[in-house]
Structure formats: C-alpha cells, structure tokens
Structure 1
C-alpha cells in the first residue's frame, strides 16, 4: 500500500520545510487478522501515518533545510525508512520504501541557493578562461622557443666555408655567371652575363650620343 501526505517540518536551524512524503508498506500476511483485531481496519490512520509523520519530523530536525533539497535527501529518506521500520515492525507492518518529493524551502534560502549556484558557475567559467589562456600562453612560449632554437642552429651552421661551398655547388644552375671574389674569403656573386652586356651597350650608346 502507498500513502502520500504533504508534511510540514522544521530543520535543525529552525527553517520551515514543506514536502510530499510517501511511504510504501504492507502488513505481514500471516499477521493480517491480528492487525485487524488489535488495531482495527483503520490501521493506516491509527498507526502507520502517525508514526510516519513523527519519524519524518524527527529526522528532518537533525539536518539543515538545504540537505533535503540536495543529494543528501536520499540520506534522510533512508534514515526515515530505517526508523519507521523499527517502530512499525512491532505492529506487524513492514515499510517497503520512503520518498520525499516537491520539497519547498523558505524563499530566503532559495535565494541563497541560487546565488551560490551562480557564484559557482562564475567561478568555473573564470577557471576555464584562465586555463585556456594559460594553455595558449604555453603554446606560444613553446613555439617561440622552437623558433629561437631553430634560428640558433641555423646561425651556428652558416659558416663562411659552408656559404662558399653552397654558392659554388650552385654554379651549374646558372647559364651565364660571373664569379666575383669579394672579401677575405672570396665569396662569389652571380650576375647574368646577358644583363651585363645590355648594361654595357646602353652605357656606350649614351656616351656616344
């Protein structure tokens, strides 16, 4: 059998809590006649619900109002289940389960809960932003370090001997070049011969004209 009732209880901080409390129970089959004779047909109103209400109020008074509104509600339900089972066992009644629903808290407590949730969400959002920025900064730092290391390697490898070898090894890629040693190491430079010839002709023409 199932019975649901809207109950009013006070938390351990004296706040009023309203909720729907449901109890599922049954009479021990072979004790049914004894229950009907000893308690009467209205055993629910005479024994079950009075005991159930009493247990609910006693248990709620041990906790804060917020506990009934959060995941701790299951703890309270289990406590009520255990205590009610002990009290009704002697009456040959077995409690199957207890359930709290539609819990209503005082408005000021509701406001506090909403403010707390908003603060937690803002905090999580800020942590996410900071973590994202930190990762981006780390990425840029690693990238910059990689570029710096690469530049150092390149700079250390660009010796005059290497540059000379590199230029000479590329001479065969040019159809016409002029090898002009400059500096102490004789670094070569490339110049298109046709371009040089054109420059000379142009200069001669201008001087004779």
Structure 2
C-alpha cells in the first residue's frame, strides 16, 4: 500500500479515527483524539498533521470541532511514569473513544496497536496519511497538545515549552539541568542526558 493512497471504508459505517500526539516528549501529557467525520465534511482540509502548516492545522481543527463528533483526552505525566508511554497512550485513546457522543461501527487507529475497546478496531500503520478520520484525529491531537504546552510555557517560562513543546531539544535538556525537572516532567524519561 503506497503512503499516499487513501483507504475508503463503506459510507454506511460510522468510522472513528484515533491518533495521538506527544509520545516522544520529555514533559507534558500525551494527547489522544477520536473523531467521527460528519457527512459532507470538506476532506480537502485534511492531511498528515506533521506535513500541514500551522495555519492549515488551525483551519482544519476549527472545522472538525464545529462539525464532527470528537473527543480529546489525555494521559498525564504521572500516569506515563506509572504505566509507561505505550500503556498511557492506550489509556488516552480509550478515554477519547469513551468520550464520543456516538458509538462507531469501526475504530481505525494510527500505528500498529489498538487500545482495548468494545468494538471492531484496526491498527493502520501510517494511517494519518491514509485515512481521513485518522487525519482529523491527528490534527485534533497535535493542535490540542501544542496549545496545552503553550499554556504550560506561561506557567513555567524558563523551560521554553512554547518553542519545543516538551521534546528533547538541547534547550529543553539544558533547562532541566539548570533548573531541575519541571512539575510536568516525565520523570521516567531521561530528561537530563546530553
């Protein structure tokens, strides 16, 4: 299956896409989103969230939250430290699914695993480039997490969260060495190594 090829599912089925943002950072929560696209949703707004520019992501985000059934959910740094990042991600995805206003017939999850859900589900590697509902979930998760990290930057300005969003940049690691871990640090991650 080529990376650019979109996969279509029968229109009669309510298909939910689920994706996450924030597995790799050293600080902050992991965010998951579940989206059931509304009939007639303008698919041209969608794309791989990592390839879309910020303005395009924001436009798509606004359209998704206005027109679609969705839920954004989180697993917090303490949960990540207690469970591990994979299990915390699955927890956030399950929370997003549970928060939907309707029960989908099929859940499609970006990646190679799915959370334990009471419905038909399938993992799609690189699904955020192939499945419109996953693209929408990816956009919601990324924009939501970026906004959260910008708010954390206001609370903890010396860490630079608005710039690096908690990812392991030289700036972030240096702030951790200089100041110690912030209250949103994932203590199970090696935030202090060079």
| Fold match by TM threshold 0.5 | no
Normalising by structure 2, what TM-score?
0.24
Structure whose CA Rg is larger:
1
Q: Which has the higher contact order (CA 8 A, sep 6+)?
A: 2
Normalising by structure 1, what TM-score?
0.23
